[in-house]
Structure 1
């Protein structure tokens, strides 16, 4: 019969002891009590064996000192019995002590005393049989104390387990004992100083040639630092995830092939992506993401994305993306690859910025600039009508006068065809001059875009001064021209440059209306700068500017009847030509407004017509 637990062995020991005691009493032979002493000492323990020696001695005294035995013979046999029982108990104690050390702590049979970490072994029934030196040192007990603990209780090792882990640990251990399956668990064990640390306990069964379990061997690894590191890593990941989800932009990740597999919360909320229905990591087809773009943008988006992914180059793209409410909004998308030490792409990081409001604002500003430009030109029409009529009057009067002379030369007797031919050439020239005036006026007040040509800014200044000649004379303004004769030509729209110069000259005239006639001097200068630009300066002798920078704001004006659009449009025109316009007060009195333009050759493919 195989006894698989200490309770069974102790029950058998008790039965054998009681039977031997009864047999000794019935036969009046105390030597049978030695069997009880040996049984109790071997199966129960040496302390119980010593108690059995005392009990057996008492029973033997009652038997040997009875009237059936003589006194001398009884005392001698009693003394011999006591010595024999005590000797038997001593032999059992020595046998148990040496056996425990030999089997458990001196390598009898399979041993894990040299196992790194905490090593242990147990009997087939689960009773702890061995702890290596590291385990004994950790729990703070000696081998002798551990042997006493294991003799007292089959599961005495549970006293070293954290109270919260006892129930689960015992359940796993009993499951392994019943099934023979390996036992792997994580639990907290008490150290000798009372602190608890996490351990991973692994126990496997050792079997004989018949497959019967002959013991359990285990290794307990300290994983407390690892668990703390993992907890810190999880906390860091949670904080990073919280940061990624709360940052005010849409973030998404893609595989090296460009397949999306992660969208942050802001992207999910914005686009209405159902993350619960998303395909597994890296399997979402890129085409399904392209479908979020506007139908007019999908082909271009797919082409530029695939090109960037194939070359491994960063990408910035603007397109219209569908929001969850069905509205398409302008998005600025940027992608950057993450590479390892060898340069291999591990993943792609993408961010999306909603720039729809900015794009719409820019478009509205551009349309407003166009409307302001047309409004400014329309507002100047009444003021320029007198000068235009004067400019047209001269070539038209010349045409009439030359036509009369032509008729007289033809009616002469004889007709003077030579003089008539010369007069006809003058008529053609005057008519062409009138046509050019009309052409400039139509371009000035029309809605057509400007055209870039190589222009001479000195000629533009002279034309404007001729156009405003009557205004200068009526305002008693002295014109002082300082034009650089070597000024290079630059590429610009002729009509728009005339508009800029016209506004600056007219503002200079109006700035001197409330000053003395003797100081009304308007100075216009042109010059070339060393930074590859040409400058035109219009300087007046008025009262100066209260805020030189604010005068370029739309609708800001210091005139009672002004609209506040002229200088704003002038700056828009100049900046559209890649130039600069600024104003400043002059120390000697008055103000100076200057604009500069880069010196550029005419190339319509590289310089598209500006849109002020």
Structure 2
């Protein structure tokens, strides 16, 4: 009965493995004893070519810069390191020379009455490319925002119109951190020149009530105590039902221009 159950278990494993989109290999007695079809699609080698491959031959398929990672994992498995992570990420070189990123999950199992190493291999090349593109895009955006002469912000549509976000270049421009604005909803209004506050509140009211894109100027108190003229361009963002969500805008320093205009008057 035990032998029958073992055979049934192995048959179930093979059925699942053959229909899996994840590459599966079993290493036993320092040789590959099983590989599924998905593995052939990942590395380009036939099952026959993979069978009886040794660990050394498998390491040669690993991209040269990542081989030490895999060698180190094999050494740690051989000495029974309990702290070895089950999952590893590295590159392989396929039969036709293509470089792919894979994630490997390894586990010790019993296969045909003997201990063996089961490895599940997943091709994550496209996911890694997408993540890399996203990272590059985020870095470009961060560079543009940080080095932009304008400060980008979002703010509440009610109450004191407190900032919910402001770009990090505010520190360089005004001397305050973005956290100063976000953590204190009254921070922005409290630093507008008293003579300009009524004008600013009127502009914000037009944004909310009329849904206009509004451009307005005001003096803002910097951390050093001085006031400088700013030009703010703001618009209202609504949800699908037409309800106001937030104000989004940008602020630029127009102090020199404003002073020059005043001198001409």
* TM-score for the superposition, normalised by structure 1: 0.34
Question: CA–CA distance in 2 between the matches of 1:286 and 1:335?
Answer: 18
The aligned counterpart of 2:137 is 236
Larger Rg: 1
Shift of 1:132: 0.9
Which blocks of at least 5 consecutive residues in structure 2 are unaligned? 1-6
Q: Which runs of 5+ in 1 are unaligned?
A: 1-102, 208-212, 367-612
> Comparing both chains, which one has the higher relative contact order based on Cα–Cα distances under 8 Å and sequence gaps of 6 or more?
2
The yes-or-no answer on 1:224 pairing with 2:125 is: yes
Q: Number of aligned residue pairs: give it.
A: 248
The answer for the alignment partner of 1:38 in structure 2 is none
How far 1:299 sits from its partner (Å)?
6.8
Equivalent in the alignment of 2:193: 294
Give yes or no for contact 2:145–2:167 (8 Å, CA) kept in 1: no
Q: Which residue of 2 aligns with 1:320?
A: 219
- Give the superposition deviation at 1:158: 1.6
User: In 2, distance between residues paired with 1:229 and 1:260?
Assistant: 29
Counterpart of 2:255 in structure 1 is 356
TM-score, normalised to structure 2, is: 0.71
Alpha-carbon deviation of 1:323?
Answer: 3.1
Residues 113 and 131, structure 1, Cα contact 8 Å, conserved in 2: no
Which one of 171, 175, 183 corresponds to residue 268 of structure 1? 171
Which has the larger strand fraction? 2
Contact 1:317 1:334 in 2 (8 A): yes
Distance 2:27 2:75 in 1: 13
Alignment of 1:591-610 (within 5 A): none
Quick one: distance in 2 between partners of 1:168 and 1:229?
23
The 3 A distance-change label for structure 1 pair 246 and 194 is: same
In structure 1, the residue matched to 2:25 is 120
In structure 2, the residue matched to 1:95 is none
Within the candidate set 22, 29, 36, 1:132 is matched to 36
CA deviation string 1:540-582 (max 9, x = no partner): xxxxxxxxxxxxxxxxxxxxxxxxxxxxxxxxxxxxxxxxxxx
RMSD of aligned C-alpha atoms? 4.0
Partners of 1:261 and 1:284 within 8 A in 2: no
User: Retained in 2: the 8 A contact 1:252–1:264?
Assistant: no
1:143 to 26, 36, 47: 47
Question: Counterparts of 1:297 and 1:335 in 2: how far apart (Å)?
Answer: 17
Q: 2:100 and 2:35 mapped to 1: Cα distance?
A: 18
1:248 match: 149
Matched residue, 1:416: none
Q: Using the TM superposition, give the Cα deviation of residue 128 of structure 1 relative to its aligned residue in structure 2, in angstroms.
A: 4.4
Once the two structures are TM-superposed, the CA of residue 157 in structure 1 deviates from its matched residue by 2.2
**Aligned equivalents of 2:109, 2:207: Cα separation in 1:** 60
Q: Cα offset for 1:321?
A: 0.5
Provide the C-alpha distance between the structure 2 equivalents of 1:144 and 1:365, rounded to a whole number of angstroms: 87
Secondary structure of 1:248's aligned partner: coil
Structure 1 residues 173 and 341: alpha-carbon distance in aligned structure 2, compared to 1, 3 A threshold: farther
Shift of 1:294: 2.2
